[in-house]
Amino acid sequence: MARGVEERVVPVERGGQGSTGPLAQSVGDFLAHLRAEKGFSANTIAAYQNDLGQLMEFLEAEGQRRRRAVAWPQVDRELLNAYLLDLKEKDYALATQGRKVAAVKSFFAFLHREGIIDQDPSEAVHSPKVGRSLPRTMSIAEVEVLLGLPSRRDTPEARRDAAMLELLYATGMRVTEIISLNLNDIDLETGFVRCFGKGSRERQIPIHPQAVRVLTSYLGEGRPKLVRRPGEVALFLNRRGQRLTRQGFWLILKNYCREGGLDINITPHTLRHSFATHMLTGGADLRRVQEWLGHANISSTQIYTHLLDNRVREVYERAHPRAR
């Protein structure tokens, strides 16, 4: 979905003296290569600098999560795909995502030519198709299958998974927003969740009774068995008692999709799209859906009306005797 994401220029200094540490050395050399050998303009080089600076920030955050620095030879296809998922979650326009992917591909080709990496992981990464692209959604039947899968097991992790998936579909929150939730962000008595989205903007989203029941089960019988540290405030925890990560959530969803015979390309954002589409299909007001999704601009929400238009057309052509 296209939206006006303001891009911040990330400084990269040749020699690795910038804020991104040792990763910046190779980026600085690449920018110098573009300037001296390719003759690129200052504006083009600034765009590469910003895009690669954003990649380095992502890798630094990943290194902090892993508690060890990530060097360029350690970046694989899975890590690059996690970065692309991060761009999607930030709702960059497809054209912007495509530009950033192109910068990444050019940079890793440079690293490979220079012998800094043995293999180029970006070769297997595909650029998003730019153009009028409607979001992929799930049918209500597919959602029902997915949400029912965790109930096949009676484990703390299964109760957690059921609560996460139910809450994601009940609210349309971004996966980053879901994993960032703390205990005091959920009010089961009133049936609301407090969410902090882009720019730390707070919004209150209602949750239906079924989601409240599943969350109550997790909080009462699942989460206490996952907690390892007194005073832990994170709502959703992994087996080590730590806050679940975005990548962890993504892998959990992939495993359930595989188990249920669903499309393995379903992502947490697919459930967000499905929430919006199903709410509008059910008669929800467009402005209200915009508020729940946390869209700054109504145009980002209006893309779902095009999905509805397509479905209306399909119903018409199936029903009208002269349309066949």
Quote the CA–CA distance of 219 and 315 in Å, as a whole number: 42
- Which residues are registered as beta bridge partners of 192? 187, 206
**Quick one: pLDDT band at residue 281, thresholds 50, 70, 90?**
confident
| Mean pLDDT value across the chain | 83
- Which residues are registered as beta bridge partners of 187? 192
Quote the CA–CA distance of 112 and 120 in Å, as a whole number: 6
Residue with tokens 């729940």: 292
Q: Assess contact for 21 and 69: CB atoms under 8 A.
A: yes
pLDDT exceeds cutoff 70 at 287 = yes
Structure tokens at 35: 């300037």
Q: Where are the domains positioned within the chain?
A: 23-124, 140-318
Q: 187 phi and psi, to 5 degrees?
A: -120, 95
Write the CA distances from 123 to 100, 102, 127, 293, integer angstroms.
14, 11, 10, 34
Q: Which fold has domain 23-124?
A: DNA polymerase; domain 1 (1.10.150)
pLDDT for residue 171 = 93
The answer to whether the predicted template modeling score (pTM) of the entire model surpasses 0.85 is no
Strand ranges, E, within the chain: 186-187, 192-196, 202-206
**Quick one: pLDDT band at residue 199, thresholds 50, 70, 90?**
low
Instruction: Please provide the CATH number assigned to the domain covering 140-318.
Output: 1.10.443.10
Quote the CA–CA distance of 74 and 26 in Å, as a whole number: 14
Map residue 14 onto helix, strand or coil: coil
pLDDT exceeds cutoff 90 at 89 = no
Which residues are catalytically annotated?
Answer: 174, 198, 269, 272, 295, 304
**Quick one: pLDDT band at residue 224, thresholds 50, 70, 90?**
very high
pLDDT exceeds cutoff 70 at 311 = no
pLDDT for residue 130 = 55
pLDDT exceeds cutoff 70 at 317 = no
pLDDT exceeds cutoff 70 at 234 = yes
DSSP 175-215: HHHHHT-BGGGEETTTTEEEEE-GGG-EEEEE--HHHHHHH
Structure tokens at 282: 């059910």
Q: What is the mean pLDDT of residues 94-120?
A: 89
pLDDT for residue 68 = 78
Let me know the angle formed at the C-alpha of 228 by 225 and 232, rounded to the nearest 5 degrees: 100
pLDDT exceeds cutoff 60 at 8 = no
pLDDT digit string (tens) for 11-66? Answer: 444 333 344 466 888 899 999 999 888 888 788 888 899 999 999 999 988 888 87
pLDDT for residue 133 = 57
Q: What is the mean pLDDT of residues 121-132?
A: 73
Structure tokens at 81: 């795909």
- Which residues are registered as beta bridge partners of 202? 196
Quote the CA–CA distance of 295 and 3 in Å, as a whole number: 9
Write the CA distances from 164 to 48, 174, 256, 284, integer angstroms.
37, 11, 13, 23
**Quick one: pLDDT band at residue 72, thresholds 50, 70, 90?**
very high
pLDDT exceeds cutoff 80 at 266 = yes
304, burial (CB in 10 Å: exposed 0-12, middle 13-18, buried 19+): buried
Checking phi first, is residue 265 left (phi over 0); if not, alpha (psi -120 to 50) or beta? alpha
Work out the percent of the chain whose per-residue pLDDT is above 70. 85
Quote the CA–CA distance of 155 and 54 in Å, as a whole number: 38
**Quick one: pLDDT band at residue 313, thresholds 50, 70, 90?**
low
CA gyration radius, the chain? 22
**Better-scored residue on pLDDT, 52 or 317:** 52
